[in-house]
Amino acid sequence: MVICKFYDTKISLNFQIRTPPERKMSSPLVILASLILPLVVIIFFLIQTNSKRSDKNLPPGPRRLPILGNLHQLGPLPHRSLTELSRKYGPLVYLRLGSIPVLVISTAEAAREALKNHDRAFSGRPNLFVAGVLTYGFSNVSFGAYGDTWRALRKIMVTELLGPKRVQSFESVRAEEIQRMLDTVSSFAVRLSPVNITELAVLLVNDVVCRVTFGKRCSQGEGKSKFHETLCQIQVALGGFCVRDLFPGMRWFNKVNGFEAKVEKYFRDLDGLYDEIIEEHKGAAGGRGDEDLVDVLLRLKGDLDQEITLTNEQIKGVMTDTFNAGTDTSASTIVWTMTELMRHPAIMKKAQDEVRSVARGRSVFPESDLPNLNYLKSVVKESLRLHPPLPLLVPKTTIENCRIMGYDIPKGTTVFINETAISTDPRSWESPGDFKPERFLKEGSPDIDFKGQDYKFLPFGAGRRGCPGINFGVVVIELALANLLNGFDWELPPGTNIEDVDLEEEYGLTTYKKNPLRLVPIPVLQ
């Protein structure tokens, strides 16, 4: 039995040899036909699915099944399955997922050639059903089609929303939310009760992004808001494989099984929330004090000097970008970093000593001192290396034919940059499976950064499609960790040992730690 899991269905194919029941009389021709016909059908599909390999010098890859292609070789953690395939077939692996041609890039050398030498060819995005619905027809930066409109929209996002000055302007917002997080942790520390670090990180990042985007906190008390719940549902939908994406001829399938109706409900919920927020901002125009991101977008909509006139759909698409790119990715990195620190007490102590030395007895670690935390920064980099929040990045599509490492890559090929394989490649990293922050501080070696210049370390991508929100996300991660390490020592819950701290993953748009991380905070006297 071959089972292929999608987020909207589960397909089971049973291949069994059954002994036919006794018959009183069977024609020899009928028996022969019943034996040969299935073989003929299978051979026909094998010829069809492999015929396109003969006219081009495509990269190597495993044999494919009829119809399914290589879907059966993707396990519950696709980035892990694809890493294993790359170890066998090389830096470029050519697959077919359903009827979709796919290229998997798994080494720094291959990533450099693709994203530096052929950046334009790899600048497209696949036409995914869920992404199309939930981003207002690809009216955003993450999934928008490459072209003049996309370039103008990205320029607005980088210069007006995510540039260094704009990020710095929200320092007070981050400080207030960090204080709120510390107050929550302190309430658990008084009782010596375990705090759910996973929930803590999600609420912190979600509220920072909400305040920066909307001008108000989205959480309700200690729980998640309707807005955040809606976004969680959307991120789950975006993180899976959709039948109609893999088999374009089966568009009807998503209607029959109800998946299309479910996605459209998510869209209506999200759109209604956006309409309320936009109307609130229009009604408060001129009386809000500091601009949030919605204020900026509405102001730019009326700016005739812009390269493009922003539409309501583009404004909403950028809002979705801000949350999808800025919430779960940052929260996930905070959780994975705390997980690795608990598994490595010596590294935890070294990071705490540095933080507390720089803090000089202050109860809250200030954002202005983050540049002095060289070791903590290396800890974050090592966490991103072993636990990239987007292990396959956001999928790309080739918009023209190109040639990579001697192989032909046809136009319209979906491309996965397997950051998990790249960042654990023994040809690029010594002891790649070990958590060693010192590798980023090695004397005599160049500074390894995550801004897309070092192709062996691409947690945020590279080239034209690299993540524009690096500055926004990293400062929240570093500030949260610095304060968690400055104000508290951390212990595992009673009855739990270091060996019990697992690294099991939950795959989605962002790869999270599957089991929540619960730790007991011990207050440190300042």
Residues of the chain with pLDDT under 70: 1-55, 219-225, 239-241, 285-289, 304, 443-447, 525-526
Q: What is the CATH number of the domain that holds 176?
A: 1.10.630.10
Residue type, 218: C
Instruction: Say if residues 385 and 438 touch (Cβ distance below 8 Å).
Output: no
**What residues contact 209, with CB distance under 8 A and at least 6 apart?**
322, 323, 326, 327
Handedness of CA 461, 464, 465, 468 (dihedral sign): positive
Tokens 């194919």 belong to 13
Residue 191 lies inside a defined structural domain of this protein = yes
Write out the residue range of the structural domain in which residue 473 sits.
Answer: 134-523
Residue 78 lies inside a defined structural domain of this protein = no
Residue 164 lies inside a defined structural domain of this protein = yes
pLDDT 10s digits, 201-246: 999 998 999 899 888 887 655 555 677 777 777 777 776 668 889 9
Alpha-carbon gap, residue 277 to 404, rounded angstroms: 46
Residue 126 lies inside a defined structural domain of this protein = no
* Per-residue pLDDT at 342: 98
pLDDT 10s digits, 73-100: 999 999 999 999 999 999 999 999 999 9
- Domain tally for the chain? 1
Residue 503 lies inside a defined structural domain of this protein = yes
Instruction: Say if residues 339 and 198 touch (Cβ distance below 8 Å).
Output: no
**What residues contact 157, with CB distance under 8 A and at least 6 apart?**
141, 318, 321, 468
Residue 314 lies inside a defined structural domain of this protein = yes
Residue 197 lies inside a defined structural domain of this protein = yes
Angle at 374 between CA 373 and CA 379, to 5 degrees: 95
Residue 506 lies inside a defined structural domain of this protein = yes
